[in-house]
Amino acid sequence: MRRRKNWYLTLGLILAVLSVGYSGLGLFWTPYSPTAYSAADRYAGPSLAHLFGCDHMGRDVFSRTLEGASATLTIALAVLAIGFAAGLVLGALCGYYGGAADAFVMRLCDAIAAFPSVLLGLVVIAIIGPGKYNVILALGVLFIPSFARLVRGEFLKYRDWDFVRAARLMGVSNLRIIFVHILPNTWPVLLSGLTIGFNNAVLAEASMSYLGVGVTPPDTSLGRMISEAQSYFATSPWLILFPALVMILMILGVGMVGEGIRERLGDG
């Protein structure tokens, strides 16, 4: 079991570093302009000059995949930051104090979690309009309940342990108990939850962009590239293959890291 766990972590970290590093590279450098048209290179296949080929407008797919992956990564991290930060505070306070406020917040989380995040995201986007920042805001808010429930569960487990009771007897403030004494003990489980949340954020952003309500032209993302290329799959499969492969490797790598963390916790 330990050898399998190490393989999950090792291979997952390799895939995650490669895919996330590739995505981050697009923030600073692309070999060609992602929006530069070239009639002579329309539908050009993969070659040394264009590693991932060119699309129906002669745009370099490698450059566009770099830009699209960086956009997907940025949006996913921003969504994760909003959902995790707000969910951490809500879950910690509800789990530690309990009471009527805890019951109300959890019932609200249950109501939100009862609907698919992409469906609710589409409703929100229909109200506030499409665009990268609106997608970040909509998905970030929709990711709060899952993190709030995860954090709350951990705080319910720890709030009556002896070290917490001892801190109360010593006169330590509740906020210090929450964020200094209990929170560090929850990080192993929270790290595993973060990997799941990241993959869900990537898939949600890709779904929104695929449906045309996420990243808007001239910007692009992996989901939007797949949407634009589906009409050319039979004649130019590389237009879908490479963006999809980058997204799959990113999700697979981060997912394997999360699985490795869960197995380590199980072994511990």
pLDDT digits (tens, 9 = 90+) for 113-125: 887 777 888 888 8
Q: pLDDT-based confidence at 1, cuts 50/70/90?
A: very low
Between CA 176 and CA 48 the distance in angstroms is 58
In the predicted model, is pLDDT for residue 73 greater than 90? yes
Residues in the chain: 268
In the predicted model, is pLDDT for residue 267 greater than 60? no
Q: What is the pTM of this model?
A: 0.89
pLDDT in tens, 155-210: 999 988 888 899 888 988 889 999 889 999 898 889 889 999 999 999 998 988 88
Q: pLDDT-based confidence at 82, cuts 50/70/90?
A: very high
Least confident of 158-167, 169-178, 211-220, 226-235: 211-220
Specify the pLDDT at position 266: 62
Average pLDDT over residues 32-40: 87
Specify the pLDDT at position 264: 72
Check: CB of residue 232 under 8 Å from CB of residue 56. Answer: yes
In the predicted model, is pLDDT for residue 87 greater than 60? yes
240, two tokens = 């879908």
Query: Please, what is the angle between helix 144-158 and helix 132-142, to 10°?
Result: 30
Q: 47 or 214, which is more confident?
A: 47
In the predicted model, is pLDDT for residue 2 greater than 60? no
Between CA 220 and CA 64 the distance in angstroms is 7
Q: 209 or 2, which is more confident?
A: 209
Alpha-carbon dihedral sign for residues 205, 208, 209, 214: negative
Q: pLDDT-based confidence at 239, cuts 50/70/90?
A: very high
**What's the mean pLDDT when you consider all of the chain?**
87
Q: In a 3-state reduction of DSSP, which class is residue 56?
A: coil
Considering the chain, what percentage of its residues have pLDDT values greater than 90? Answer: 38
Q: How distant, in Å, are the alpha carbons of 29, 38, 120, 215, 239 from that of 136?
A: 24, 33, 13, 10, 26
Chain centroid offset of residue 242 CA: 20
